[in-house]
Structure formats: C-alpha cells, structure tokens
Amino acid sequence: MNINVLTALFFAAFFSFCSAAELIIFPDQPKTLSSETMQYSQMLHTGMQGDTFYTRGRFGVDFPFAGYNYGAGKSILLGINAAAHINMRPNSNMTFPVDNFYAVLAIYFSGVQSSNFSWRFYPVYHVSAHLADGYPGDILQKDVVPVSSEMIRGEIYYKFFDVLEVSAGYGWYYHVCAQKHLTGRTDLSLLYTPRPVNMLPSSKLQPFVHARLENVFQEGNNPGADISAGAFLMRGRRGFGLSLRYFNRLHSSYYFEKYEKGWGAEYLFIY
C-alpha cells in the first residue's frame, strides 16, 4: 500500500471522527449523586465533639466549561473546582479550638467511557488553610501554622447494577508548606443509591449511604473514615439532603496535622 493510499485513509478516518464528535462550551455536568461531585456540593454540618456543639460549612462549585463528545455516551470535560470550608469550634478544650478556614481550588479533566465507567484527573489540586478570626490567642497556640499543598490526583469510578458506585483515587503531593513529610494519599469510596421513591409528580426521595476510607502518607500511614447516610429530596437535578455523619480522620486541611473525630447532622444542597 503506497503512501498516497495511507494518507487518504488517515484523512478519511480523521474527518469521520471529527464529524461524529461534538465540541461543547459550558456543558452540563453529567453526574449529580456521585462521589465525584458530592464533595463540591453545598453543606452545613452541625455536630458534637465530646459535650461541645460545633458547626462547619462548605460552599463549592464543580464547573465544566468545555466538553468534547466523541461517541455514543462518551465524553471528556475540562473544568474547575472550588470549595471554601469554614470550621467553627468554640471551646478551647476541643481538638481544634480555633475557627479556621480552608479552601480547595483545582483544575480537572473528566471522562465518561460508558454508562458504568468514568474517570477524573487533576493536574493541579490546591489546598490552603488560614485562621478565620485572627484572635491573638489562637495565633500563639502551638502547632497553629498556615499550610498549603498542591498535588496531582487521579480517580476512577465504576457503577454496579445502577445503584452502587465504587471509586478509588490516588494523589501525589509535589509541593507542601509546613506539612512535614506529606507525600501522598489514597481513597476508596462506596456510594449506595437505591431506587428512588416517588413523592410528588415532580419530586423523588433518593436515599443514600456514602462511605469514604482514606490513608494519608505523612510520616507514616494515617488511615481514616468518613461515613454518612440519609436521603435527598430531588426535583430534576436539584435537591436538598439530610444525613447523619460520623468521621474519624486526619483534618481535611491538615491545618493542625491531627485527627478529628465527631458525629452530627448534615444538610446538603445540590443545584
């Protein structure tokens, strides 16, 4: 086969692929209830640590701004994540006695290969933490230092029988500030979403159970768990959720490089 025939076949295949593909600006996020996207939903958590009441909140966005559909049910998205967290713990005897703020800012590529299998890749995943109130007594406390980190992270997701999503992720830290020997983390998540219950003609009640196991590599292994169970009242792709949550893990922002443990009620919003 000569070079002209090979060239003709190449261009025929290329233009056939392009004609079947579609470039989309500001596409809809194809997932709603998924470990992939729920970590950026709006959340208000109220709970107890010992005999002290505390509150935390999260305001986030998962925003794909470009997409590429290249086959039946197959796509690649380019997007940005942002999430701001505020922890309010008023008692000086608590594990984390100061109000603190930490934020996540990330760029991602995500791909849907089939109705069951998808993936996500973060070339940049940044976390930084700061004191929220600036009270001098807080600043002078031992081990209270500003921290920041950047990592490369990959995640895969597979759904079984349309009700059980299993996901795994790994991140490698290429830059840390004040976090000694922080090198990486692994995660395993299970999200169970049984068949929804019809409430009204326009709304459904969607129960869920979400369990996240992790191990942070920081001066050895630091395993942790975060488990919640509840239900969303869904109207289309929007919903309000209420759940009970228990966690025992290294602090999410590594602000104090210590574990936090608690339980409480969590209010979730998806829009």
Residue 148 CB neighbours (<10 A): 18
Average pLDDT of the chain? Answer: 83
pLDDT at residue 256, rounded to an integer: 65
pLDDT digits (tens, 9 = 90+) for 231-269: 999 988 889 999 999 999 988 777 666 787 888 999 999
pLDDT attached to residue 14: 42
Are the beta carbons of 81 and 103 closer than 8 angstroms? no
For the chain, helix (H) and strand (E) counts, in that order, are 3, 14
Cα end-to-end span (Å), the chain: 56
- CA separation for the pair 212, 243 (Å, rounded): 15
Q: Cα torsion at 91, 50, 43, 120 (round to 10°)?
A: 110
Question: Which of 139, 140, 167 lies closest to 155, judged by CA?
Answer: 167
CB 56 within 8 A of CB 253: no
Using the 8-state DSSP alphabet, how is residue 27 labeled? P
Domains of the chain (ranges plus CATH)? Answer: 26-270 (2.40.160.40)
pLDDT at 90 exceeding the cut of 70: no
Res. 208 pLDDT band, cuts 50 70 90 = very high
Computed on alpha carbons and rounded to an integer, the radius of gyration of the chain in Å comes to: 22
Distance CA 267, CA 42 (A): 8
Q: Which of 30, 39, 32 has its CA nearest to residue 189?
A: 39
Q: For 34-81, what is each residue's pLDDT tens digit?
A: 999 988 989 998 887 777 777 888 999 999 999 988 877 788 999 999
